[in-house]
Chain A
Amino acid sequence: MATATSRQLPVAVDAGWETLPERPWYVRWRRIAAQNPLGVVALLIVVGFFVLGLVGPYVAPYPPRQLDAAAQFLGPSWAHPFGTNETGNDMFSRVLVGARVSMTFGAIVIVFGFVPGALLGVLSGYAGRWIDYVLQRSSEAWSAFPQVILVLTFLTAFGPGLRNIEIVTAIGAVFGSSRVLRAVAIIEKQKDYVLAAHATGASDARIFARHVLPNVMPYIIVGISGVFAAAVVIEATLSFLGLGLAVGTPGWGIDLNAAIRSGYGQQYPFLVLFPGLAISLVVLGFNLLGDTLRDILDPRLRGSR
């Protein structure tokens, strides 16, 4: 056996494939970026909104709640690119600051809903047994019902408010992410590297943490973009329906609500247009990002979506 190896090794080195230097990471990333221009745009949108969520209040040209009776209902101009509302608030500033509400909401849902759900899903796909059964049945029941109706029923039970919307959306995210990751884990655990790790005597926990988890990481990122987009829409929708943020708080959904409820939206469509476009742009960014990642992960699907 030993002689066989020693005889083969020099041949491999002679062929040169073992000594081929790996290209540095930025070269590989640049190639991926060049092949997916839309993905780069999506990434820029997403990162841009995250940055806005962090620095929005500091870069906004006006305080978002500043009352200014003289500046009521000004149309879009250089001083007020998105116009002003009935209390003279600068809508551009409100849209910038509103990013914080949506991005924080999405992040909370990811941390408290998606991440535990993903871990649970991988665990249940990997370990099976009763965890799997319980998780499967409850997630089936949850996804059988229309989301709007579920969320509204739960919100009736918990009472309205942003905190409760976060809880309900996070519950949905647990089921959503666990289902996707469970399927991935089931495929993954039958792969040879798991068998090999078992053969070397690694424990289940070690295989899960060191081998399975890194391998399913890309799918987790795809899932995160989907759940984040959905969460932003849920928050905006419920705030729009008057169940979330308090009126006056700068947020995209609640600003739309204010424009419609006051009836001013009919006369001044820009009050509706810009917050709505902001929501659409964030969701578009996450959707495109998810699509691009999926394409990179599964080259077979490239161009077919």
Chain B
Amino acid sequence: MWRYALRRLLFLPLIVVLVAVFTFVLLRVLPGQDPARVMAGQGATPDQIKEIHRQLGLDYPVFPVSLRGEPPFVQLNRHDQFSKWLGAALRGDFGVTYQSQAPVRQEFARRFPASFELILLALIIGSVFGISFGILSALYRNSVLDYVVRVFAVFGASVPEFFLLTLLIILPSYLFNYAPPIGGYHSLLREPMLNLRQFGPPALILGIGGSAALMRLVRTTMLEVLRADYIRTAQAKGLSRPTIVLTHAFRNAATPIVTALGTAFLAVFGGSVIAETIMSIQGVGAFFFISTLSRDLPVIQFLAVYTAVVVVLANLIIDLSYALIDRRVRYS
């Protein structure tokens, strides 16, 4: 299994380079707004735009090889943007942001803890909530609890996150004149109350929003597993109900649930962009959003690679946990 993991990890650089190339093409070839124009503001002369291009290195060809309309059709470029970026990136240098002129890595590191906490908190809330209520709903099928869970699962999947987050800002403010702490990052260890007031509510909404689909899936899978013959055997043996539910039923239902947890992670990871932007949390998600508005290419480039790494690692963890849950799954 560990050899399998290692081999998968060896693919990581390849995927990262592919994502980097793809993002490069996307951001530099497609007709989106010119970042120089955003920086120069309205009424900039073509010369000024050219000067900004020169400063940002955008006047070089994008790739080391470019196509031409005449023979020999391909042209090798001595200086190009991609090799320069890749060379620096391999040394851990991802350039400076257009906005603040500070190193991208430093700006990222400053914002990472906030996002990490938000995502982790949301994921914990979502999985605890989704799995426990999914199991309960399957066990007490057609009870009041089951109906509440089912109605919640449908509604939870229908109300958009950004609407709930907006309500989270305006309703406490309207009803109690209360505002959550805004901006900065209050450390969980040093200022726990301030930290939880800042991160608790958005994490709750992201988590519970993500748990709706999970809850449904846990319920369906558990219902199917509970009908199995080995559950009846376990009951006949006189095992206690918690033992049957947790070690016999849940364990066998766990594989699709892990898959759903992976989907939930993606949803929360993406949702953090919206949550941080709405709640004015200075995290990676809000950073990404601001950078797309200003077309801050080095930042988007870096964050695309960062997302690719996170996605690949998350998928690897999910695949490996299949083997941990179910001994029949073997990787070689």
Contacts and interface: CB of A to CB of B under 8 A. Distances in A.
A256 B169 CA distance: 13
A153 B305 CA distance: 12
Interface residue SS majority, chain B:
helix
Contacts of B157: 287
A260 interface: yes
A241 B267 CA distance: 18
Interface residues of B, number: 50
A207 interface: no
Q: Which of the listed residues A148, A229, A241, A287 has the most CB atoms from chain B within 10 Å of its own CB? A: A148
A157 B27 CA distance: 5
B14 to A, nearest CB: 13
Interface stretch (B30-38, B43-51, B186-194, B238-246): B30-38
B57 interface: no
A183 B201 CA distance: 39
Interface string B262-273: 000011011101
Interface string A287-305: 1100100000000010011
A149 B115 CA distance: 14
A276 B293 CA distance: 24
A279 B23 contact: no
A260 B180 CA distance: 16
Interface stretch (A112-120, A195-203, A213-221, A266-274): A266-274
A241 B277 contact: yes
Interface string B216-227: 100110011000
Interface residues of A, number: 40
Contact of A265 (B27, B166, B267): B166
B171 A237 contact: no
Contact of B23 (A153, A240, A266): A153
Contacts of B224: 304
Contacts, number: 126
Contacts of A269: 167, 170-171, 174
Contacts of A148: 270-271, 273-274
A136 B39 CA distance: 40
B28 to A, nearest CB: 9
Contacts of A301: 220
A152 interface: yes
Nearest to A291: B154
Contacts of A157: 26-27, 30, 32
28 contacts: A145-B307, A145-B311, A146-B266, A146-B269, A146-B270, A146-B273, A149-B307, A152-B273, A153-B27, A156-B27, A156-B292, A157-B26, A157-B30, A233-B160, A241-B162, A241-B277, A243-B293, A260-B166, A260-B169, A266-B169, A272-B163, A272-B170, A276-B160, A276-B166, A279-B163, A283-B160, A301-B220, A304-B223
Interface of A: 144-149, 152-159, 229, 233, 236-237, 240-241, 243, 256, 260, 265-267, 269, 272-273, 276, 279-280, 283-284, 287-288, 291, 301, 304-305
Given A156-B292, A304-B219, 5 more contacts: A146-B266, A146-B273, A153-B304, A237-B160, A241-B277
